[in-house]
Amino acid sequence: MKVARALLLLAALIVAMPVSSLARTRATPTPEPTAAPVADPAVTRLVRQQFVLWQAGQINKSLYDQQILDKLTDEKLAQTSKALAALGPLTDAVYMGPWLSADFPPGAKGYLYHMLCSDGAIYFWIALDPQGKIATILFKNRLDIENVTPSPATPPPSPP
């Protein structure tokens, strides 16, 4: 009889307990946030300047490697200028991270930016040679895998 009364009392206590007291006492672990890539202020200034000049169709050709100038026609500049100008005034340039390509000249470093304008946005890839001249430049309205190379990572372990 005493056992039955004790069980009833225990059952009454459990029913009266708030649900939160039965919940897990530890917080669910969350992954550590990944640090955003840090932009080089000098590169960001150059990117902003070049983007605005491309929108205006008035680039400073002395800042470009000869290999770019050989491919750049007045028609291509006008076409690109018209498309970029349609995006409206530049409001922000967001550094996305480094850009790697086997097509770069030796020693060149690539950078990927998301250019935000009043009427649209576009991705801007730029590579600078060791002398700081623009070795590669590319504008695209989307990210695609042929132009984005992931940072080197530790390879996964081989299966046993």
Whether 95 contacts 31, CB under 8 Å: no
CATH class of the domain defined by 41-140: alpha beta
140 phi and psi, to 5 degrees? -145, 150
Range in 5-9, 48-52, 102-106, 130-134 the model is least confident about? 5-9
Is the pLDDT at 4 greater than 60, yes or no?
no
Give the per-residue pLDDT at 104. Answer: 86
Is the pLDDT at 7 greater than 60, yes or no?
no
Q: Report d(CA 115, CA 93) in Å as an integer.
A: 5
Give pTM, 2 decimals. 0.69
Is the pLDDT at 140 greater than 90, yes or no?
yes
Range in 15-19, 60-64, 136-140, 144-148 the model is least confident about? 15-19
pLDDT in tens, 97-113: 998 888 888 899 999 99
Q: Report d(CA 56, CA 2) in Å as an integer.
A: 92
